[in-house]
Amino acid sequence: MENWARFLEVNAPRILELTIDHAILVSLALAVALLIGIPLGIYLTTNQYLADTVLQIASITLTIPSIALFGVMIPIFSLVNQGIGFVPAFVALVLYAQLPIIRNTYTGIKNVNPEMRDAAIGMGMKTRQRLLRVEIPNALPVIMAGVRTAVVMNIGIAVIAAYIGAGGLGVLITQGISRNDNYLIISGSIAVAILAIIADSILLFIQKRYTKKVVAD
Amino acid sequence: MISFNHVTKKFGENITAIDDVDFTVEEGKIVVLLGPSGCGKTTLLRMVNRLESITEGEIIINGENSKDMDPIELRRKIGYVIQSNGLFPNMTIEENVMIVPDLLGWSKKDKRERFEYLMKLSGLDAKDYGKRYPHELSGGQQQRIGVVRALAADPPVMLMDEPFGALDPIIREKIQDEFLQIQREVKKTILFVSHDIDEAIKMADKIVLLRDGKIMQFDTPSEMLAHPKQEFVSQFFGKDRAIKGLSLHTVENLREVIGLGPVDDSVQDTKTINVHQDLRNTLSMLLNQEADQVIVKDDAGENIGTITIDLVQKYLHFEIKGKVSASQEG
Amino acid sequence: MNRKKLIGNIVRYALYAVVAAFFIWAISNSYFDYIFSQSGTFLVLLRQHIVLVLVSSLLAILIAVPAGILITRPKFKRAEWIVSNIANLGQTIPSLAVLALMISFLGIGFQTAVFALFIYSILPIFRNTVAGIDSIDKNMIDAAKGMGMKPHQILFRIELPNSAYSILAGIRTAVVLNIGTAALAYVVGAGGLGVWIFTGINLFDNGFLISGAIPVTLLAIVADFILRRVEYAVVPKGSRRIEKA
Ligand SMILES: Nc1ncnc2c1ncn2[C@@H]1O[C@H](COP(=O)(O)OP(=O)(O)OP(=O)(O)O)[C@@H](O)[C@H]1O
Ligand SMILES: [Mg+2]
C-alpha cells in the first residue's frame, strides 16, 4: 500500500495526462466514425444490394485482429512517411469504430415498425422528414448500442496502438512490460478499465435520457 | 378423480393465494376453475402436479395422496397444457408429442402407432405435420398439438391452464368443440382453468368459482346461473346471465316444455335448424331476422315445427328467469 | 433500381481491386518472402499460434460452459447478478494488460500465455451461455417440468439445444478474439506469429510486418468461417429461426 502511495504521488499527473490523450484519441476517432457511419448506415437502408455487400465486408473486417491491422497499415502509411504514430492508429480506430455504427444504424432503421413508416408516408412526409422525425428517433436505442460497442472496443484497441507510437494509456503498459514494472501495468490497466466504464455509462445515460424524451413526446 | 381436502397455499407469511379449498373432480368429468385475474386458479392447478407446494391440506389423486408420490412419477401420469402451448422449438411435432412416451421408454412401434392415433384426434395429418417444427404451424394448430401432447401417454388426469386463451374467438370455439369431441372419446378427469364465462359454461360439468383464493360456489353451470348463492356470483356472471344460460338449453328442451309452433307452408323465406341447436345461437339467429320462418328439423331431417322469438322468451321466463328471480327472493 | 445495383457493384469491385492491389504491391516488393525464405521459422510460429489458441480456447470452453450452466440453476440464481457484473467488468480490462500481469505471477513462457488467453476467453463464452439459457421462455421450462422431466433431461433436451446458437456464437467470438490476442503472446515470450509483427515494428521491416500480419488475419477469417458452419450444422433447425428473429 505504501509503495502504491509513493508510486501514485510520482506518477499521478502522468497517468492523468495519458488518460486524457487516450480519451482524445478515441473521441476523435469516434467523431469521424459517426460522421461516416451514420449517413452511410442511413443510405444503406435505401439500397439493399449495397447493404448486403457493406455488411458482409464489415463482419469480415471486424474479425481482423487489431495488431495485424496495424501490421498491414504501417507499410502502407510509410509510403507517405506516416508509418508510425498518430495517423495509422487513428485510421485503424476510425475503421473499427464505424463498423458497429453502420451495422446498428442500418438494422435499427430497418427494424422500425413498418406500420409507423407507412403512417409517416401516408401523412405525406418526404423521405428526409420521415428519416429525421420518425425513423432515426425510433432507431436511436439501437444506434446508441452500436456507438457504445464501438467506444468500448476502441478504448481497448487504442492500448495496443501504443506499440505503433500512438501514445495513450498503452504507453504505461508497454513500458511496464519492458521494465518489468507491475505498478505501471496495473495502474495502466485500471485506468483503461475505468475509462471504458465511464465512457459506457455516459453513453448509456445519454441513450436513456434521449429515448425517454422521444417516448414522452 | 381428484379430491381437494381443505387445501391452503401461502406465499410467504402474508399472501394467502388459496384459502381452505375443498371439492372433488369426479372421474371422467371436466371441472372448470373460474374467477377474476389473480384469484388463484393457476396456483391451485399447479398444486395438483406439485409445481407448487401445498401449505395445508391434501390433494388425493385417484386414491393416492399426492404428497406420498414421487413428483416426477406423478407428473408423468398427469397431462399438462398451458396457454402458451409450451411446445419445444428444437423438436419436431412428432418429437414434441412423443416426449413423455419417450421418457417412459416406449418402443418405437408403440410410439409410432400412438402418434398416428393422436394426430387423427387432432385433425392434423401425421405425415404432413410430424416432421415440421412448431414455428411452421399456425397458433391454432400449435394449441391442438399442445393438447394431444398432454394426452400422449394416456394419463388419466389432465390439467389445462387457459389452453385456448391465446386464440381468436372463432378458432377458440372451434377448438373447444373439437376438444369436447375428443373428451367424449377419451373420458379424462380434467381440471380446466378459464376466465372466460362462456368457455366455462360450455366446457364444464361443474364450475368452481374462486375469489381471493376462496370458493364462492361449486355447482353445475346451469345451477350456478339459475341459483347464484352469493352477490359476487350473480355479479360475476352479469346481468345477461339468463341469456348466457340459454346456451345450456336446446330447442329440444323447449319443445318438451312448451312445444313448437306449426309450420306455415305458404311462407317462402324459411331457414332450418337442427333440434339439438342450443337456444342462445337460435335466439341470435331469430334476432338477426335471417328468415321469415325458422323450421326445426329432427335428426332424421323431418320438419317438426317452427320456432319464434316469442317461444324462446316464454321458455326463458318459465325455465330460467323464474328460477333466477325465485332464488333472488329466497 | 439499376443505379443502386450499379453503386453496389462498384463498391464491391472497388474493394476487390484494393485488396488485389495490396497483394500485388506487397508481392512485387517481396514483402511475403520471409514466409518462403524462412519457412521453417514460419511453420514453427504458425504452429505455436494455433496451439496457443486451441489449448486456451478448449480450456475456456470446458470451464465457461459448465460455469454458465451452473450459475443459471435456481440454487445459484442469486449469485448470477454479481457474477455477470464481474464478467462485464473483466471485459474492460485490456487483453495486453492480462498478458502482462500474468508475467508477474507465472513468469515468462508458453504456459503464461495459455493461461492469460484462457482467462480472457472465458468471459464471452460464459456471458453468452448465461444469456442463451436465460432467454429461454420460462413457460417452456414449466411445461417440461409439468410433464415430469427430470432436471438433467430439461437441461440436455430443452435448455442446451435451445441456447446452442448463443453458446456457439460466444465460442466463435472468443476464438476469433483469441487469435488476435495470441498475436500479443510475443510480449510474454510465448512465440506465435506476433513475433514477426513485433519484429517488423521494432526493425521497421515491412516484410516481417506483412508476413506476420496477413497469416494472422487469414487465420481469424478462416476460424470465423468454419465456426459459423459448425453453428449452422449443430443448432437444431427449429430453434435456429427463433434466435435470428
Ligand atoms: N410465486 C409467487 N409468489 C408470491 N405470490 C404469488 C406467486 N404466484 C402467485 N402469487 C399470487 O397468488 C395469487 C394467485 O395467482 P394465480 O397466478 O394463481 O392467479 P390466477 O387466478 O391464475 O390469475 P390469472 O387469471 O391472471 O392467470 C396472486 O395474487 C398472485 O400475485
Ligand atoms: Mg393464471
Pocket of ligand 1 (CB under 6 A): B 11, 15, 17, 37-43, 195
| C113 touches C198 (CB < 8 A) | no
Q: Minimum mean pLDDT among A58-62, A176-180, B319-323, C43-47: which range?
A: B319-323
Residue C218 has pLDDT above 90, yes or no: yes
Residue C176 has pLDDT above 90, yes or no: yes
Residue with cell 332464488: B327
Lateral strand order in the sheet of B270-274:
B270-274, B293-297, B303-307
Separation of B83 CA from ligand 2 center, angstroms? 9
Segment 40-69 of chain A within 8 Å of chain C by CB: 46-50, 52-54, 57, 60, 63-69
Nearest-atom index, ligand 1, CA of B43: 18
The partner residue sitting opposite C142, judged by closest CB among B86, B99, B103, is B86
Query: How far is C112 from B210, CA to CA, in rounded Å?
Result: 66
Residue C167 has pLDDT above 90, yes or no: yes
Partner C contacted by A127 (CB < 8 A): no
Partner A contacted by C197 (CB < 8 A): yes
CB burial readout B40-49, b (16+ within 10 A) else e: bbbbbbbbbb
Percent of chain B topping pLDDT 90: 55
| B152 touches B97 (CB < 8 A) | yes
Of C156 and B298, more confident = C156
Partner C contacted by A165 (CB < 8 A): no
pLDDT at C245: 35
Query: How far is A182 from A161, CA to CA, in rounded Å?
Result: 20
How big, in percent rounded to 5, are the helix, strand and coil portions of chain B? Answer: 45, 25, 30
Residue B98 has pLDDT above 90, yes or no: yes
Q: Across the strands, what pairs with B194?
A: B34
Q: How confident is the model at residue A64 (pLDDT cuts 50, 70, 90)?
A: very high
Residue A85 has pLDDT above 90, yes or no: no
Residue C223 has pLDDT above 80, yes or no: yes
| C141 touches C155 (CB < 8 A) | no
Residue A212 has pLDDT above 60, yes or no: no
Q: How confident is the model at residue C76 (pLDDT cuts 50, 70, 90)?
A: confident
Complete DSSP assignment for B240-307: THHHHHHTT-BHHHHHHHH-PBPP-TT--SEEEEETTSBHHHHHHHHHTT--SEEEEE-TTS-EEEEE
Of B298 and C51, more confident = C51
| B275 touches B301 (CB < 8 A) | no
Of B32 and B284, more confident = B32
User: Is it the case that chain B and chain A have 3 or more CB pairs lying under 8 Å apart?
Assistant: no
Q: How confident is the model at residue B310 (pLDDT cuts 50, 70, 90)?
A: confident
Separation of B34 CA from ligand 2 center, angstroms? 10
Query: Hey, whose CA ends up nearest to atom 10 of ligand 1?
Result: B17
pLDDT at A138: 86
Provide mean pLDDT across the span B117-129: 91
Of B276 and C70, more confident = C70
User: Is it the case that chain B and chain C have 3 or more CB pairs lying under 8 Å apart?
Assistant: yes
pLDDT at B165: 86
Of B173 and A28, more confident = A28
Q: Minimum mean pLDDT among B258-267, B314-323, C82-91: which range?
A: B314-323
| ipTM confidence score | 0.86
Q: What is the mean pLDDT of chain C?
A: 91
**The C-alpha cell of B325 is what?**
328471480
pLDDT at B329: 40
Q: Across the strands, what pairs with B272?
A: B295
pLDDT at C241: 58
Q: What is the mean pLDDT of chain A?
A: 88
In this complex, the chains that touch C, judged by 3 or more CB pairs closer than 8 A, are A, B
Q: How confident is the model at residue A217 (pLDDT cuts 50, 70, 90)?
A: very low
Q: How confident is the model at residue C173 (pLDDT cuts 50, 70, 90)?
A: very high
pLDDT at A199: 93
pLDDT at B321: 59
Q: How confident is the model at residue C172 (pLDDT cuts 50, 70, 90)?
A: very high
Q: How confident is the model at residue B88 (pLDDT cuts 50, 70, 90)?
A: very high
pLDDT at B330: 35
Of B156 and C4, more confident = B156
Helix (H) or strand (E) run with residue A36 in it: helix A2-44
pLDDT in tens, A106-137: 999 998 887 887 888 888 788 888 888 888 88
Query: Hey, whose CA ends up nearest to atom 19 of ligand 1?
Result: B38
**The C-alpha cell of B302 is what?**
323431418
Partner C contacted by B134 (CB < 8 A): yes
Residue B208 has pLDDT above 90, yes or no: yes
Q: How confident is the model at residue C1 (pLDDT cuts 50, 70, 90)?
A: low
Residue B327 has pLDDT above 50, yes or no: no
Q: How confident is the model at residue C3 (pLDDT cuts 50, 70, 90)?
A: confident
pTM of the full predicted structure?
0.83
pLDDT in tens, A160-172: 999 888 889 999 9
Provide mean pLDDT across the span A147-156: 92
The partner residue sitting opposite B89, judged by closest CB among C144, C147, C238, is C238
Residue with cell 408420490: B69
Residue B91 has pLDDT above 80, yes or no: yes
Q: How confident is the model at residue C244 (pLDDT cuts 50, 70, 90)?
A: very low
Provide mean pLDDT across the span B125-132: 94
pLDDT in tens, C13-30: 999 999 999 999 999 999
Of B50, B61, B88, which to mutate for an interface test with C (greatest number of C Cβ within 10 Å)? B88
pLDDT in tens, B241-269: 777 778 888 888 888 888 888 888 888 88
CA-based nearest residue to B225, from B324, B104, B91: B324
Query: Hey, whose CA ends up nearest to atom 29 of ligand 1?
Result: B38
Q: How confident is the model at residue A213 (pLDDT cuts 50, 70, 90)?
A: low
Nearest ligand (C-alpha, residue B10): 1
Provide mean pLDDT across the span C65-83: 89
